[in-house]
């Protein structure tokens, strides 16, 4: 009898018998996006992307750009930013965020995040995250620049070996 009781207790204590966590509601997810100022961060990314496009174009054309190249760079940057805003604007991204967060987090987890982001420490994270992201992007770009000669060498070596390997 005691064995049956122990088995029954183990089965009832099993996670299979516990109800699944409640899915996050759209309202709570939208509230989290509001508290974390996700829309403002997304819009800030557009400015950083525009600067990145300009930097890429300057790198492609070299330090000495002609007025025509400068104009082309400006047009490209403007067009790319407009495309980003159209295809990845808040009206497009917010429903995606809601869907992804809803599939990824339970209501309890969203409520826990809301509790954190409403604190001074949480707001400090929100306030400082754009700077953290900007500094991270700059560090990664610098690291990629340092790696570029080695990458170019590897590509050249591979291209030299490719015809020999095909034969």
Distance CA 51, CA 71 (A): 15
- Bridge partners of residue 106, in order along the sequence: 23
pLDDT in tens, 104-143: 999 999 999 999 999 999 999 999 998 998 899 889 888 8
Per-domain boundaries in the chain: 26-129
Q: How many residues does the chain have?
A: 167
Q: Decide if pLDDT at 151 tops 90.
A: no
Percent of the chain at pLDDT > 70 equals: 79
Long-range contact pairs involving 105-113 (C-beta distance under 8 Å, separation at least 24)? 105/24, 105/29, 106/21, 106/22, 106/23, 106/24, 107/21, 107/22, 107/23, 107/24, 107/25, 107/28, 108/21, 108/22, 109/21, 109/24, 110/24, 110/25, 110/28, 110/29, 110/32, 111/28, 113/32
pLDDT value for 18: 46
Q: SS3 of 54, please? A: helix
Confidence of residue 17 (pLDDT cuts 50, 70, 90): very low
Phi-psi region of 119 (alpha: psi -120 to 50; beta: other; left: phi over 0): beta
């Amino acid at each position: 009898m005691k064995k049956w009781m122990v088995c029954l207790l183990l089965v009832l204590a099993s996670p299979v018998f516990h109800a699944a966590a409640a899915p996050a509601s759209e309202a709570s997810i939208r509230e989290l996006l509001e508290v974390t100022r996700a829309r403002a961060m997304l819009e800030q990314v557009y400015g950083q992307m525009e600067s990145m496009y300009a930097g890429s174009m300057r790198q492609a054309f070299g330090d000495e750009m002609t007025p025509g190249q400068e104009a082309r760079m400006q047009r490209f940057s403007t067009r790319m930013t407009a495309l980003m805003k159209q295809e990845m604007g808040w009206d497009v991204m917010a429903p995606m965020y809601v869907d992804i967060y809803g599939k990824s987090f339970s209501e309890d987890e969203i409520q826990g995040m809301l509790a954190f982001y409403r604190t001074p420490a949480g707001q400090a994270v929100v306030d400082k995250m754009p700077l953290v992201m900007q500094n991270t992007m700059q560090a990664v770009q610098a690291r990629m620049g340092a790696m570029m000669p080695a990458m170019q060498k590897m590509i050249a070596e591979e291209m030299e070996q490719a015809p020999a390997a095909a034969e």
